[in-house]
Homo-oligomer: A and B are copies of this chain.
Amino acid sequence: MDIATILGLILGFGLILVSIAMGGGGLGPFIDIPSGMIVFGGAIAASLINFPLKNNLGAFGVIMKCFLFKLPDAADTIAQFKQFAEIVRKDGLLALEDKVSEIKDDYMRRGMEALIGGASAEEISELLETELAYIQTRHVNGKKIIDSCGAAAPAFGMIGTLIGLVQMLRALDDPSKIGGGMATALLTTLYGALVANVVCIPLAGKLETRSMEETMIRELMIKGITLLGEGATPRAVGEQLLTFLAPKTRSSIEPKAA
């Protein structure tokens, strides 16, 4: 998982824990199983009704993979393609066979294998673009589910608080229970706000960024493989692939690439 996400989650929940500790009374009053059930279960229920079952089942995996899976570095990938182009120029496409088995990234390896296996540029490009479209669809579906949870959690938080208030108000003749009942009632609203604002809303943003980064590196790979297939010179490969990078990153790579 990328470091900023981890730092942010630790900072966010850490601050809340510290703040609870400083207020006195300990963590106890803030933990309530039924409250958690309503908020977390409710968000999951809303997502189950809202989206097809297979999207729901896939969502957790998509999100985890998106955060844990380390994308290949763009600069390294460009350097690799230049090296491959060198080999192709000297010894032909088939000489890449040994190199290909060393590629760690599945997506790129499959494309390279197809190239060496003699598939046409068009076939490889269609194969890889179809897979990229599928990856993007999964990201979009994952983001929709996170967005839905970010909207449903506070709503179920409010529902839980209303249930708690009704129960507390019915027991109003026992004044000693008022404070506790109201405190518990408010917990679902608190849980809902935490789920939405510390987890769902920011995670959805990061997922979008990661999805754009993956799209960029995948498109760079498609272009790189196509260029190898066309027998482009290492220099041409380097120049054309650099245009996929943002200006700043580009200049920081160009020395390496030169």
Determine whether A25 belongs to the interface, using a CB cutoff of 8 Å to chain B. yes
State the oligomeric state as a number of copies.
5
List A residues 173-190 near B (Cβ within 8 Å): 173, 176, 178-180, 182-183, 186-187, 189-190
A250 to B166, CA, bound (A): 52
Q: How far is the CB of A223 from chain B (nearest CB, A)?
A: 19
| Residue of A15, A156, A160, A250 ringed by the most chain B CB atoms within 10 A | A15
List A residues 68-110 near B (Cβ within 8 Å): none
Contact B186 A165 (CB under 8 A): yes
Summarize A's interface: helix, strand, loop or mixed.
Answer: helix
Q: How far is the CB of A186 from chain B (nearest CB, A)?
A: 6
Contact A197 B48 (CB under 8 A): no
A3 to B70, CA, bound (A): 35
A257 to B158, CA, bound (A): 50
Contact B162 A189 (CB under 8 A): yes
Determine whether A131 belongs to the interface, using a CB cutoff of 8 Å to chain B. yes
Contact A166 B183 (CB under 8 A): yes
Contact B52 A159 (CB under 8 A): no
